[in-house]
Amino acid sequence: MNKEFHLTDILAFEQRFRATFINSLGGFKSLALIGTRSREGNTNLAIFNSLFHIGANPPLFGFIVRPDSVDRHTLNNILETGEFTVNHVREVFYEKAHQTSARYPSDISEFATTQLTEEYKAGYYAPFVKESHIQIGAHFTQKIDIQENGTIMIIAKIKSVSIPEDCIQTDGFVDLEKAGTITVSGIDSYHRTEKIARLAYAKPFIKTSELNSL
């Protein structure tokens, strides 16, 4: 039997319980490590579960940064340098990725504390995560302050993508399972994925039973 919660019930939850409950409702989410580097040369690595697609031409995506009530090293570095990297998380290092959520001082690199490897590429100031199979180089384009709760939306343009060639299908579809990418629910529950099916483009008045799998 389902239990129904109204807004007044949710607001009455204990703070940590409420945050965990609401964070889990969005279902499975993208999971990535964002790599940045300050003007002083200090590297930073932080785990995010809020990346979302915006458009393909130009290739844009966004993610959410929590309220700027404490020092946000990732946000500060992005605004200072205009550059960052996005690195998919694999099962072989998800525990190290999770540890990057700890609040280290700005002069302590999460790369060093988690023993993940900084990888530098020509034309990029920010480091990539060498252990990641899918790496995205990104250029900051816009910061949007969300008044309702003080969070910040960062919008970025994709500069480059590094991906195993055999993970790209003939129509451009990226096989994330083959690349080893994992996902997350809430903020601390990590999951493998299993594809059910990939369906053809939906057209009006076609019965779901007649849809062809790709």
* pLDDT digit string, tens, across residues 168-194: 999 999 999 999 999 999 989 999 999
* pLDDT digit string, tens, across residues 75-113: 999 999 999 999 999 999 999 999 999 999 988 999 999
Residue 72: per-residue pLDDT: 80
pLDDT above 80 (res 207): no
Range of the domain at 112: 28-192
**Nearest to 178, CA basis, from 136, 214, 133:** 133
Does residue 211 fall inside a structural domain?
no
- CATH number (domain holding residue 184): 2.30.110.10
Does residue 44 fall inside a structural domain?
yes
Does residue 43 fall inside a structural domain?
yes
State how many domains the chain has: 1
Does residue 75 fall inside a structural domain?
yes
DSSP SS3 for 213: strand
- How far apart (Å, rounded) are the C-alpha atoms in residues 115 and 150? 33
* pLDDT digit string, tens, across residues 1-32: 999 999 999 999 999 999 899 888 888 999 99
Does residue 37 fall inside a structural domain?
yes
Does residue 22 fall inside a structural domain?
no
Average pLDDT rounded to a whole number, residues 33-57? 96
Does residue 139 fall inside a structural domain?
yes
Q: What does pTM read for this prediction?
A: 0.91
Does residue 11 fall inside a structural domain?
no
CB 163 within 8 A of CB 86: no
